[in-house]
Structure 1
Amino acid sequence: MKEEKIKRRYSIGEEIANAVTHGIGAGLSIAALVLLIIRAARYAPQDLKAGYIVGFTIFGASLIILYLFSTLYHALPLKAKKVFGIFDHCSIYILIAGTYTAYCLSALHGAVGWAIFGIIWGMAVLGIVLYSIFGSRVRVLSVITYIPMGWLIIFAARPLKEQLPLLSFKFLLIGGILYTAGCIFYAMKRVKWSHSIWHLFVMAGSIMHFFSLYYSL
């Protein structure tokens, strides 16, 4: 029964679109990682350079993890989907925490940054453990937690706005809005192509956050 449910979830055409979109995302993520490391190495303040490089590296790596596992989940045969479905959903937590890490170790360095860093990674680890144990039984709970985790940053909006260039802050905000808007399509399970549209929103949000970090220096 579980296999049939997985098999019926998306048509072949949808699965091809799902795999291709995030396959492209995986390739772009590798390029983003390289560009961000170079940017941090060249332009980060000397006393904060290590934080920028580590933060940007974790962000880039989390992008690669998310897009790689998503691509594999949609591209692999039915029997592999059960395992990679868990990896796919858990990687969302990794990307959220990885994105926060980039800002916490750079623009938000200090007490505020470390506080948010600890909270977001604690939530991410909890989410990963729960989904790894209970799988799709906590799918709805997982989706519900993605959004508040993503917008936890509002508690540090003022120091972020003070530390980031205006363009960087705008890209950060737009990225968050795109991710949130994409969740609407993610929830439309019975609407054909909705998951592919969700993928496009995720890619757009990732691109905005890449530019936010790139232009933070």
Structure 2
Amino acid sequence: MVDAHDEVPGNLSESVRRSLVHGRPLWRGVMHRAAVPLVVAGGAALVWQTPSGADRLGAGVFAAGALLMFVASALVHLRRWSIPVWEMLFRFDHAAIFILIAASATPVAVSSLEGRSAQLLLWATWIGAAIGVTLRMLPFHPPRGLMNTLFLSLGWVPIMVAPDLFRALDTSVLVLIVVEGLLYSGGAIMLGVRWPDLSPRVFGYHEVWHALVTAAVAIHFVVVAMIVGAG
């Protein structure tokens, strides 16, 4: 947190500005740092237990995307960085969320869908992720709310192939996918409106977002294991 007599530079992203002005709650980044070794172990087990071929590739893409997202988040929230480093890490953090969304859709498309539906889901999510990453890496600060809107929009792209998913997936898998989608979406909305801010110095609205994302990723590990026949 900046001192009352310090001036915050004008040309800052909203993420860095809030980090400087409001400081970091005690739990900021803790869950995602703890998730990194769990994702390494869980991802390795998932890939190892998945039959070789396209199923294993899809599972590996998801595990890698999840690891990238947690590492990016853990780094940006590890400490108070210099402003240029913080700006770079926040860009990396947001870009990694887009990659996770596309990586999460990959095993679903590869292992559960066929033909045009699989291709549509893969192309739509990865092109959307590429657009999101590119926008975040451009040398300007996006308007407040734009990134969350893009996260939500990309996350619900699988609705385009919903009829095929209903035919291809068991009810239990569909229920889990809906639950994780609601966790992601609810978390993104809460992050956007900055509520509930339970304890700003210990566990704020951003920690609620991290908790919901962590739970959603854990559920998707179960989903992927079920659809690729791991075990």
Give the residue type in structure 1 aligned to 2:212.
Answer: F
Q: In structure 2, give the amino acid aligned to 1:124.
A: A
Equivalent residue number for residue 187 of structure 1 = 192
Q: How does 1:76-115 map to 2 (within 5 A)?
A: 76-79=79-82, 80-115=85-120
**Percent same amino acid among aligned pairs?**
23
Q: Superposition RMSD on alpha carbons, in Å?
A: 1.9
Change (3 A) 1:181 1:22: same
Q: Is the deviation greater in 167-176 or in 155-164?
A: 155-164
Measure the CA separation in 1 of the matches of 2:172 and 2:194.
35
The structural deviation recorded for 1:11 is: 2.7
Determine the structure 1 residue equivalent to 2:211.
Answer: 200
Cα drift, residue 25 of structure 1: 1.9
Q: Which of the residues 77, 84, 95 maps onto 1:74?
A: 77
Aligned to 1:155: 160
1:58-106 CA distance string (max 9 Å, x none): 0000000000010000013321211101000000100001011111111
Change (3 A) 1:50 1:139: farther
SS at match of 2:190: helix
| 1:129-184 deviation line (CA, Å, top 9, x unaligned) | 11100453245222111112111111212222222222222111111111011112
1:25-104 to 2 correspondence within 5 Å? 25-41=35-51, 49-79=52-82, 80-104=85-109
**2:145 partner SS:** helix
Question: What is the distance in 2 between the residues matched to 1:135 and 1:68?
Answer: 24
Distance 1:189 1:111 in 2: 39
Deviation at 1:214, TM superposition (A): 1.2
Bigger-Rg structure (1/2): 2
Q: Is the 8 A contact 1:168 1:213 kept in 2?
A: no
Matching residue within 23, 35, 38 for 1:11: 23
- How has the CA–CA distance of structure 1 residues 10 and 52 changed in structure 2, closer, same or farther, with 3 Å as cutoff? farther
Q: Which runs of 5+ in 1 are unaligned?
A: 42-48
User: Number of matched residues?
Assistant: 208
Normalised by the length of structure 1, the TM-score is: 0.88
Contact 2:31–2:211 under 8 Å retained in 1? yes
The TM-score with structure 2 as length reference comes to 0.83
Distance 2:56 2:63 in 1: 10
